[in-house]
Amino acid sequence: MKLHFLDTLDAVLRTGSLAKAAVEMNVTASAVSMQMKQLELYFGQPLFDRSGLRVRATPLAREIAEVARQPMQQLEALRQRSSLALEGTVRLGVIETMQSGLLPGVMLFLRERHPLLQLRPVRGRSVELVNAVKAGSIDAAVVVQPDTGGSQRLSWQPLVRNELVLVAPPDSTQSNLRALFARYDWIRFDPETQSGRLAARYVQKNAPQARGTLELQSVQALVAMVSTGLGVSVVMVPDRRICLAYPVRTLPLGPHAPFTQISLVARKADANGRKLIALREAIDSVPAHAGAERA
């Protein structure tokens, strides 16, 4: 029996269902079910009444959770206490669109709170960075989470939801997407990325007359092109500092705007390690980007 099974039991009792506990513990529902069965084998008695439509906890399950709660909290406090200095290196992959807004704050937080812990940023596309996490060449990555939810072998922590917006030249006067694409060329964002594919589908559906052959892998370069009047584009909300350097009109796409889910991904075996916990605290300390919603 593993200690974290007791945390899962506590989550099941607090949330009232295996499925909700799975979301809280960032595992699959089948994994929660397996852990509960392992606990039942360990204690030699059923912990849930499965005879009805809903699974109900037995008095024994509640007694176990109550007895285990305080020592589990004490163990967690001991594991995280500040007197145990964190040392070493965390290799963090970050997609290009999140680097300028995220990395300075994360590095400042870690320098102040954990001066012996070094952050080594790695740049790449989401697919490349997820593969690097799986291979163990980096410890974690800030990426666009796939629509399917991503590999169940990894731990995914939602960070922000980024809506896609329409960016247009600052002196443009058109007020809707069709009119702007009729007037300007379409500057596409990297079609090898999920946000680029989302943008392409949206434009093709809502402005089928869109024309253009220019594709860029950098949001900063794309915004700079739009700022000079070379075209319009649909991208994730650009960082404010980019828009200060290269002024553009940013127009929302309305209630049906596509969006990307930005998440922190790590191997499940590492997700609860002290280095990754410190990294998550550092990321949480950075204010959400303009136009992005905290998940």
pLDDT at 82: 52
How many secondary structure helices (H) and strands (E) does the chain include? 11, 12
pLDDT at 49: 85
The CATH architecture that domain 162-259 belongs to is: 3-Layer(aba) Sandwich (3.40)
Topology of the domain covering 88-161+260-294 = D-Maltodextrin-Binding Protein; domain 2 (3.40.190)
- Residues contacting 109, CB < 8 A, separation 6+: 281, 282, 285, 286
pLDDT at 288: 58
88: left (phi over 0), alpha (psi -120 to 50) or beta: left
The CATH architecture that domain 4-80 belongs to is: Orthogonal Bundle (1.10)
pLDDT at 295: 43
pLDDT at 292: 46
* Residue 197 CA: distances (Å) to CA of 4, 203, 259, 260, 290: 39, 10, 11, 11, 22
Q: Where are the domains of the chain?
A: 4-80, 88-161+260-294, 162-259
Report the alpha-carbon distance of residue 61 to residue 55 in Å, rounded.
Answer: 12
**Residue type at 226?**
V
- Partnered with residue 120 across adjacent β-strands are 91
In what helix (H) or strand (E) does residue 272 lie, and over which residues does it extend? none
pLDDT at 226: 97
pLDDT tens for the chain, 295 residues long, are 678 888 889 989 988 888 888 888 877 888 888 899 999 999 998 998 887 777 788 999 999 989 888 888 777 776 665 556 678 999 999 998 888 889 999 999 999 989 999 999 999 999 999 999 999 999 999 999 988 888 888 999 999 888 999 999 999 999 889 999 999 999 999 988 888 999 999 999 999 999 987 999 889 999 999 999 999 999 988 888 888 999 999 999 988 899 999 999 999 888 888 899 899 999 988 875 433 444 4
291: left (phi over 0), alpha (psi -120 to 50) or beta: left
Q: For residues 280 and 157, is the Cβ–Cβ distance under 8 A?
A: yes
Report the alpha-carbon distance of residue 271 to residue 265 in Å, rounded.
Answer: 8
**Residue type at 21?**
A
Report the alpha-carbon distance of residue 66 to residue 46 in Å, rounded.
Answer: 17
pLDDT at 103: 92
Q: For residues 46 and 35, is the Cβ–Cβ distance under 8 A?
A: no
Report the alpha-carbon distance of residue 234 to residue 189 in Å, rounded.
Answer: 8
Domains 88-161+260-294 and 162-259 share a fold: yes
Q: Is 82 exposed, middle or buried (0-12, 13-18, 19+ CB in 10 A)?
A: exposed
Contacts 24+ apart (CB under 8 A), 196-201: 198/164, 198/258, 198/259, 198/260, 199/164, 199/233, 199/234, 199/235, 199/258, 201/258
pTM: 0.67
Range list of H helices, the chain = 4-15, 18-25, 29-43, 59-80, 96-113, 126-135, 177-183, 194-206, 219-227, 240-245, 274-284
